[in-house]
């Protein structure tokens, strides 16, 4: 499973569904500058969780919130299966 591909596909799908214009996507693009609003980001997290079966935000410990799209991808790539 390629987390990067899933994340990029879901960003485009959510933006299209919510009628948002996206900035050119790259790993170093800040999520808040991507064109997605907070609702879109919540939908994105839920859809990536559903597709991967992973949830890096469901821990007792402290999760560092991602700033860039690359940070978001790494959260899922580093999540134990």
Q: What is the mean predicted confidence (pLDDT) over 63-70?
A: 92
Distance CA 77, CA 54 (A): 9
Distance CA 49, CA 79 (A): 11
The pLDDT-based confidence of 64 (bands split at 50, 70, 90) is confident
CATH code for the domain in which residue 20 is found: 1.10.1200
Q: What is the mean predicted confidence (pLDDT) over 58-73?
A: 88
> 48: domain range?
3-77
Whole-number Cα distances in Å, 62 to 20, 27, 34, 45: 31, 23, 25, 17
Q: How many domains are there within the chain? A: 1
Kind and range of the H or E run holding 73: helix 69-77
User: Tell me: the pLDDT tens digits for 35-57?
Assistant: 999 999 999 999 999 999 999 98
């Amino acid at each position: 499973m390629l987390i990067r591909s899933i994340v990029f596909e879901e960003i485009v799908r959510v933006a299209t569904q919510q009628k948002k214009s996206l900035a050119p996507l790259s790993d170093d693009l800040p999520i808040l500058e991507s064109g997605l609003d907070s609702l879109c980001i919540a939908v994105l997290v839920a859809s990536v969780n559903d597709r991967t079966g992973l949830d890096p935000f469901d821990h007792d410990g402290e999760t560092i919130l991602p700033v860039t799209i690359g940070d978001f991808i790494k959260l899922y790539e580093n999540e134990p299966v």
